[in-house]
């Protein structure tokens, strides 16, 4: 039986990498992986080739390279890279280029890795949080949500995959527990007693693999998470895994926005949105559904068991 090829944007990264590894790990599965990268000679691309992926050059800013990369594929996983450039307009242009390439090449099932357009809950006139970059509340969410409409308008057969906060942010995004002046570890989360849906980044790709096995999900919006946890619950799990007390420091979103690192205002608004609309945001990320897509879905404790040594404790 000829395998159906899934072209994976961001294959050397977190989401796409998880998907490529999930496809390759299922040796009796119906799909083959085409890993897309800007650098076919890079170490991560070579590693994926060794595991059995086809590796093809792409740049999501280059429409022709996208058409070439999607040609002949059954499926395409589409993701953008906000934190490389901080530009919602660039994300929108890249989403449009991917949607157009999928349409031009007749891809049968696209997954668009997206997030909510928070302006549907918090219009620009709502002063609870500042408007950023002129017309966004949470720029790295809003452009992705706005881009959903592009896939729909172009008639691309798409599953809209609402992702969750990666627990890997504790390793790579400076969000791990930090030592306070008293020498004790504190985990900062500006969400009070509200729950944050989180997920192991690797599990996003595994869930996406589950979506490709479900053509009935074309045209649907689905959300995934590994667990919904409060900051206090996350701090308690961190404490158990690290073998030392970790306090939960529930600063306000205003304080978080003022931390001053690049994107602090965007993330402060994001956490405030997730807290203020906890019911909608958690409700859109059903745990049992996520597990049905990916039976290996990890809990925070399981993820910590495998990754605690990688969390820098500043
Ligand atoms: N951190 C979170 O908690 C979180 C949660 C939900 C959603 N997100 C979203 O996830 C997105 C990023 O996904 P990720 O974490 O999987 O990314 P990532 O790990 O940073 O990997 C991105 C990969 O994409 C490739 N890439 C970058 N620019 C490219 C371009 N112009 N053309 C083609 N490929 C390019 C790079 O590979 P090469 O160098 O090999 O080309 C890189 O390895 C962001 O938009 C973010 O908002 C993040």
Find the 81 Cα to ligand 1 centroid distance in Å.
Answer: 4
Q: What is the average pLDDT across 67-83?
A: 98
**Does the pLDDT at position 1 exceed 80?**
no
Side by side, which strands form the sheet with 178-179?
Answer: 178-179, 185-188, 246-249
Q: Which residues contact 158 (CB under 8 A, 6 or more apart)?
A: 99, 109, 110, 111, 112, 151, 152, 218, 219
Tokens of 15: 């989401």
> 194, 275 in Cβ contact below 8 A?
yes
- Identify the DSSP state of 229: E
**How far is ligand 1, taken at its centre, from the CA of residue 98, in Å?**
14
Report whether residue 58 contacts ligand 1, using a CB cutoff of 6 Å. yes
| Of 57, 81, 176, 266, best ligand 1 pocket probe by most atoms within 8 Å of the beta carbon | 81
Q: What percent of the chain has pLDDT over 70?
A: 100
pLDDT value of residue 314 = 73
**Arithmetic mean of pLDDT, 132-141:** 98
Ligand 1 atom at minimal distance to the Cα of residue 45? 40
User: Using CA positions, which residue lies closest to atom 40 of ligand 1?
Assistant: 37
Ligand 1 nearest-atom number relative to CA 42: 40
In this prediction, residue 27 has a pLDDT band, given cuts at 50, 70 and 90, of confident
Q: Whose CA is nearest to atom 5 of ligand 1?
A: 165
User: To which H or E segment does residue 43 belong?
Assistant: helix 43-51
Q: Mean pLDDT across the stretch 63-83?
A: 98
42 lines ligand 1 (CB under 6 A): yes
CA distance 283 to 277: 10
d(CA 203, CA 224) in angstroms, rounded, equals 9
Task: Say yes or no to pLDDT of 5 above 90.
Answer: yes
Nearest residue to 298 via CA among 250, 244, 247, 241: 241
Smallest CA separation from ligand 1 atom 32, residue = 59
| Comparison of pLDDT for 1 and 302, the residue scoring more | 302
Q: Does ligand 1 have an atom closer than 6 angstroms to the CB of 13? A: yes
Question: CA Rg, the chain, in Å?
Answer: 19
- Asked if the model's pLDDT at residue 120 lies above 80, the reply is yes
CB 225, CB 290: distance < 8 Å? yes
26 Cα to the center of ligand 1, angstroms: 24
CB of 37 shorter than 6 A to ligand 1: yes
The C-alpha atoms of residue 48 and residue 33 are separated, in whole angstroms, by 9
Cβ-Cβ contacts under 8 Å for 120 (sequence gap 6 or more): 145
Residue nearest to ligand 1 atom 21, measured at CA: 13
At residue 28, the pLDDT reads 87
Q: What is the pLDDT of residue 103?
A: 98
Give the number of other Cβ atoms within 10 Å of residue 62's Cβ: 15
Element (H, E) at 204: helix 201-212
165 to each of 196, 205, 248, how far by Cα in Å?
8, 14, 17
**Ligand 1 atom closest to the CA of 173, numbered from 1:** 1
The mean per-residue pLDDT over the stretch 205-218 comes to 98
Q: Mean per-residue pLDDT for 142-157?
A: 98
Tracing tokens 């090449």 back to the chain, one arrives at 105
pLDDT band at 300 (very low <50, low <70, confident <90, very high): very high
Structural tokens at position 55: 């590796």
Mean pLDDT of the chain: 97
* Residue to substitute in 7, 9, 10, 39 for testing ligand 1 pocket (most ligand atoms within 8 angstroms of CB): 10
> Is 14 a pocket residue for ligand 1 (Cβ < 6 Å)?
yes
What would the two tokens of residue 235 be? 């701090």
For 76-118, the pLDDT digits (tens) are 999 999 999 999 999 999 999 999 999 999 999 999 999 999 9
Q: What is the pLDDT of residue 171?
A: 97
CA of 246 to the centre of ligand 1 (A): 30
Confidence of residue 214 (pLDDT cuts 50, 70, 90): very high
162 three-class SS: strand
């Amino acid at each position: 039986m000829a395998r159906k090829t899934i072209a994976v944007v961001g294959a050397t990264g977190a989401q796409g990498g998880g998907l490529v590894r999930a496809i390759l790990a299922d040796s009796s599965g119906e799909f083959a992986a085409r890993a897309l990268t800007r650098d076919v000679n890079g170490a991560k691309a070579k590693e994926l080739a060794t595991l059995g992926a086809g590796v093809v050059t792409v740049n999501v800013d280059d429409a022709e390279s996208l058409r070439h990369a999607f040609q002949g594929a059954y499926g395409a996983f589409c993701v953008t890279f906000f934190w490389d450039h901080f530009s919602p307009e660039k994300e929108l242009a890249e989403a449009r280029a991917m949607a157009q390439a999928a349409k031009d090449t007749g891809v049968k099932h696209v997954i668009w890795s997206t997030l909510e357009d928070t302006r549907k809950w918090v219009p620009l006139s709502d002063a609870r949080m500042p408007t950023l970059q002129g017309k966004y509340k949470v720029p790295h969410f809003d452009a992705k949500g706005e881009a959903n409409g592009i896939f729909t308008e172009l008639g691309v057969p798409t599953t809209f995959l609402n992702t969750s906060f990666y627990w890997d942010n504790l390793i790579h995004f400076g969000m791990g527990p930090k030592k306070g002046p008293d020498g004790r570890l504190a985990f900062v989360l500006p969400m009070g007693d509200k729950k944050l849906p989180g997920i192991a980044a690797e599990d996003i790709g595994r869930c996406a693999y589950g979506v490709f096995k479900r053509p009935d999900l074309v045209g649907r919006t689905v959300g995934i998470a590994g667990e919904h946890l409060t900051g206090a619950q996350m701090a308690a799990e961190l404490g158990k895994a690290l073998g030392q007390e970790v306090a939960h420091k529930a600063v306000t979103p205003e304080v978080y926005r003022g931390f001053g690192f690049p994107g602090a205002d965007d993330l402060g608004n994001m956490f405030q949105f997730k807290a203020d609309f906890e019911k909608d945001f958690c409700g859109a990320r059903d745990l049992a559904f996520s597990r049905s897509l990916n039976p290996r879905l990890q809990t925070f404790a399981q993820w910590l068991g495998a990754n605690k040594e990688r969390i820098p404790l500043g």
